[in-house]
Copies of this chain bind each other. A is one copy, B any other.
Amino acid sequence: MSTPARGAASGRQLPHPLPAEIRLEAVLHALADPIRLRIARELADGHVDMACIAFDLPVSKSTSTHHFKVLREAGVIRQHYVGTSRMSRLREEDLEAIFPGLLPAVLEGARRSPEAPDRA
C-alpha cells in the first residue's frame, strides 16, 4: 500500500553523534568552511530552528545537503524532519559541555570577520 505505516510524521531518521563521540578535529574542520561557518552563524543569530531552504546559500541543493551533513556528523547541529522539511538547530548545549567556550568564540569571530575577504 502507499502509506507504509512505518514512518509517521518523523519517518526519516538522521544519525547524530553522541556527545562522547564528538571530536574536536571534526568540529573545527566542519566550521573551517566558509559556507558551513555561515550556516552556523545564521543558526546562532536568533533562529532556533531553520529549514535548509531558509538559507540563501550560493550553492546547489546537493552541495547544501552535503554541508548540512558534515555539520551534523561533526556534532555541530541537530536535525529532524517536519514534513518534507528538515529543521536544523545548533547543538549549543552539547558543545558547551564538551568544549566550553569554543562555539561562542567561533561565532563571535565569525561575526567580526567580514564573511569572507573576497575569494574571486
Contacts and interface: CB of A to CB of B under 8 A. Distances in A.
A90 B112 CA distance: 22
**How many copies of this chain are found per oligomer?**
2
B109 A105 contact: no
B113 A23 contact: yes
Interface of A: 23-25, 28-29, 31-34, 37, 98-102, 104-106, 108-110, 112-113, 116-117
20 contacts: A23-B113, A23-B117, A24-B37, A25-B32, A25-B34, A25-B116, A28-B106, A29-B29, A29-B32, A32-B32, A99-B105, A99-B106, A99-B108, A99-B109, A100-B105, A101-B101, A101-B105, A101-B108, A102-B105, A105-B105
A24 B109 CA distance: 7
A22 to B, nearest CB: 9
A98, A100, A116, most chain B CB atoms within 10 A: A100
Given A24-B109, A99-B106, 8 more contacts: A32-B32, A98-B109, A99-B108, A99-B109, A100-B108, A101-B101, A101-B105, A102-B105
